[in-house]
Every structure is written in structure tokens, then in C-alpha cells.
Amino acid sequence: MCECCSSQKDIYLPELATIRKKQKFTRLEMYYHVELDSGKELGHKAGQFVEVSIAGIGEAPISISSSPTQSGFELVVRNAGSVTNAIHKLDSGAKIGIRGPFGKGYPVDEMKGKNLVFICGGLGLAPQRSFINYVLDNRKDYGDVEILLGTKCFEDRFYVDELAKLAQRKDVSFTETLDIGCDQWKGNVGVVTTIIPKVKTDLSKAHVLVCGPPVMYKFVLMSLAEAKTPKQNIFVNLERRMKCGVGKCGHCQMNDQYVCQTGPVYRFSELGHVPEAI
């Protein structure tokens, strides 16, 4: 090997990590607590993601669901294809490959002292939780905190114990809804936009963080426009096809933006010239 390669890190090479804890969340989602074998912390920022590698199958970008304030990191993986299916088959103690953290994440410092409203749809809770927990661990640094969560049905809810605790907290307001109601569910029924009017914080002054499936953004952003939330105070967390995670392969591009580098979190006002975004 020549000197140039030994001196430069290989950006495609995963490092080994071990699954320390696994828990079935729903029919499709599984929770994992992971530690790097190097003993080091991942050193991520809230809102960043990793490329999880399963040798022989491939890689998949997965959001980091835990706050940087805790040790190790957590992932919530939905079984959506080959790689994620292979992850689901792994148990505690199994080795996986990790690259990252990648992307920009949330501007956690800029938002200090601000009122925050999190709007999460389904699996969108997983990435948002990294920032929610960060805020809760640094609660005095932030203003009012409101969390809205919409899930398709009762069986699809995850992090249920934590959600129950959230609902108990006095310093956080938590509102949940299900698209489809059922006997076990006594709460709100309707898509997530139906609970936006219940927000107590003044939306025209709050910072709003949105993450959910592609179809959700249009409707939430319409509601926020009605509520007069300035575009520079809205943050969206976008999904794209990703292969490299490091700005080379071109797959994640939306117009001139490489989501793996300048996203997945975007300030909505910065997407004005990015028509492919939403």
C-alpha cells in the first residue's frame, strides 16, 4: 500500500460495534443499544445518522435516536428490506459495522432559550428523540417544550414507557394522536395535523421541528403557515436514498443539496431554492 492511503482514513470502511441491548418495539420496529468496540463514544450531535453495515448484505442509513448526553447510542430500526431485515435477526452481542456520525443535525445551541415544538409522525419520533432527550437533559437551557406525536395505530406506538413518563412531566407538554382509534385507546384520534391547533405555545414565535414520512410534511407545513410560524424557525428532517453518506455517490441529492452532508435536518427557509425537497 502506498503512503497516501495509510495516512488517510478510508471513509467507506465501517468500524465494529456491538449490540448491547435489543428490544422488540412493534410488529416492524426493533430497538437497539449499541457500543463501538473501540470503547470510544460516537460523538454525535442530535439529529445525525449512522450507516449501519451488515457484512454480506449492505448498508442502511439509520438515525441516532439517543441524546449525545448518554453513553453508547440507540437505534430504532424498521424492517423495510434486506439490510434492516438482517439487523432484526441480530441479538445482543452481535457485531455490526458503523460509519458516521453523518449529516448536520439540529442547531442545538442556536435554539437555547427558545420555545420548542416537536411534531413527530410515526418513525419520525426516533430521530427527534435524540434532540428531545438532549433538551430534557439540559432542560433549563430551553424555554417551553411541546411534543406532538402521531402514530398510525395503537400497535405501532413505540417508546411507550418513555411516552408515559413524558406525559407525567410538568415541564413538558405532550400530546399524542392515532390515525386509527381502537378500544384500548382513550386519547385523540386523527392525523397529526389535527392536534396542531391544541398547541399552547405561540407558534408564530416558537421553533418547530418536524419529522415524519414524506407525505406528512406538506400538510404540517400548511398548518404551520396558517399559524404564521416563520420559515426560518421551522426545521424538517428529510429522508433520501443514500449509498455513501459522504457526499460522493449522488443518490441523496435534492437539487444542489446533498442530504447526507447538509441535511438531513434543514431550516425550511433554506429550502426555498430546493424545489425537490418537499
Partner 1 sequence: MRKLTKSEFQKFVTALIGSDQQVVGVQAKGDRFAFGPLERSEDLRLDYDVTLLPPKKYVLPQVETLMTYEVGGGYQSHMDSEKLILLGVHPYDLVAINQMDKLFGQDQYDAHYMARRKNITLIACDVVTPSKNVFASSMGTAVVTEGYDILITDIANGYVLDAATDKGRALMKLAPGGTEASPDDLAKRKAVQDKNKTQLNQHPLKCKPSYLPKLLERAYDHPIWEEKARTCYSCGSCNTTCPTCYCFDVQDDVNWDLATGKRWRAWDGCLLENFATVAGDHNFRKKRESRFRHRLYRKAKYVPEKIGGEIACVGCGRCITACIPDIANPVAIYNALLEDIGME
Partner 2 sequence: MSKPRVAIFDFACCEGCQLQIVNLEEEILDLIGVVDVVEWREAMSEQSQEYDIALIEGSITRPEDEERVREIRKRAKILVALGACATIGGVNKLKNNFDIEEVKKCVYGKDAQMPHLATAMTKSVDEVVPVDFKIQGCPIDRKEFTYVVRCLLMGKTPVIPDYPVCVECKAKENVCRWEYGEVCLGPIIRAGCGARCPSSHFRCFGCRGYTDNPNVDAAKEVMDKYGLTVEDLKQKMELFGSKQGHTI
Ligand X SMILES: Cc1cc2nc3c(=O)[nH]c(=O)nc-3n(C[C@H](O)[C@H](O)[C@H](O)COP(=O)(O)OP(=O)(O)OC[C@H]3O[C@@H](n4cnc5c(N)ncnc54)[C@H](O)[C@@H]3O)c2cc1C
Contact residues toward partner 1 (CB under 8 A) are 1-2, 4-5, 8-14, 16, 53, 55-59, 80-81, 84, 94-95, 97, 214, 239-241, 243-244, 246-251, 253-256, 261, 275-276
Decide the pairing of beta strands 253-254 and 257-258: antiparallel
What is the smallest separation between the CB atom of 28 and partner 2, expressed in angstroms? 16
Query: Tell me, what DSSP letter sits at residue 7?
Result: H
Using CA atoms, how far apart are residues 239 and 236, in angstroms rounded to an integer? 10
Measured from the CB atom, is 130 or 173 closer to ligand X? 130
Residue 16 binding target from partner 2, partner 1, ligand X, none, CB below 5 to 8 Å by type = partner 1
Using CA atoms, how far apart are residues 147 and 131, in angstroms rounded to an integer? 11
Using CA atoms, how far apart are residues 235 and 212, in angstroms rounded to an integer? 12
| 81 is a site residue for partner 2 (CB under 8 A) | yes
| 49 is a site residue for ligand X (CB under 6 A) | yes
Rule CB under 6 A: choose which of 174, 235, 258, 266 binds ligand FES: 258
Which is nearest to 99 in space by CA: 248, 212, 214, 209? 248
Q: What is the largest CA-CA distance in the chain?
A: 66
HSE-CB of 244 using CA atoms within 13 angstroms:
13
Measured from the CB atom, is 88 or 114 closer to partner 2? 88
What is the smallest separation between the CB atom of 177 and ligand X, expressed in angstroms? 21
* Residue ranges binding partner 2 (CB under 8 A): 56-58, 81-82, 85-86, 89
